Amino acid sequence: MSEPFQADILIVDDKPENLRLLDTMLTQEGYKVRKVTTGKMALQVAESARPDLILLDIAMPEMDGYEVCKYLKADAITREIPVIFLSALNLTFNKIQAFEVGGADYITKPFHLSEVQVRINNQLKVRSLTKELLEKNTQLETANRKLQALVNIDGLTEVANRRHFDHCLELEWHRLDREAKPLSLIMSDIDAFKAYNDTYGHQAGDRCLQAVARGISEQLKRPCDLVARYGGEEFVIILPDTDRQGGLVVAESIRSTIQALKITHAHGISEKVVTLSLGLTSLIPRHNLSPSEAIARADKALYEAKTQGKNRVCFQGE
């Protein structure tokens, strides 16, 4: 048999003599057995601690086996539990109805113990294989999510990478075009980062990039906002449904946050700490424009911020 000592079987029957007989037989075979005498009790027990299999009588007062099985199969918690009907009703109609409500098998009373054992073992084998398949599917889904994260996330800074940024910008561009709503895009660059690397080394440079990425991320309050590493020491931020004024507020918040980190930089532009220059553009996407147009404008605004002295926000409109 397929590891019977691990199987938990719930018997539902309003006749005590049937419960005693099945309990004795299944316990001797090494199964864990629970017994209830009503359909309502069966539903409560099955939901609180799911059995591996249910042996279910049909003719019971208040709630018959058909109704019990319907409730079991309608509940996400219990729908996967196999149900074997045990009944004195032996008409074809009764058996068809049992399978229609979700029964996995049907045994007619009076039953032979050997038949019950074989049918139970068959259903437990199916149940075991189903569990194994579900576990493998769950593992596969988890692996796919991790793989997707690796594809979309920058390994060093753990924000979105350039590939994911391009994809998200394209999606938001078309959505906001349809809805005629504004999009703000911020391009940012760590001031004098080459000098930082030359002075403190690339490991310190990596830590600096990670701190800046965290600082930017903390200033984005909505799930739809996205920060991505654009390349090297550049970060780009997508702000959907955000006009110029809103974009300026976010950009300035990011700029002041990074300066407030007080990451020592001997060649820093202000207070000898790491700072950011930021370029902002805001526009309503249109079909005759492309996302690259927004990137070009934000990049131009960033260039202005650099040439005007760094550690500042500049705006480039339409």
Q: Which residues are catalytic?
A: 233
Distance between CA atoms of residues 82 and 54, nearest Å? 6
**Terminal Cα distance for the chain, rounded:** 75
| Element at 144 (helix H, strand E) | helix 113-152
Angle, to 10 degrees, between the axis of helix 113-152 and the axis of helix 16-28? 70
d(CA 229, CA 213): 8
- How many of the other CB atoms lie within 10 Å of CB of 263? 21
For residue 64, count other CB atoms closer than 10 A to its CB.
15
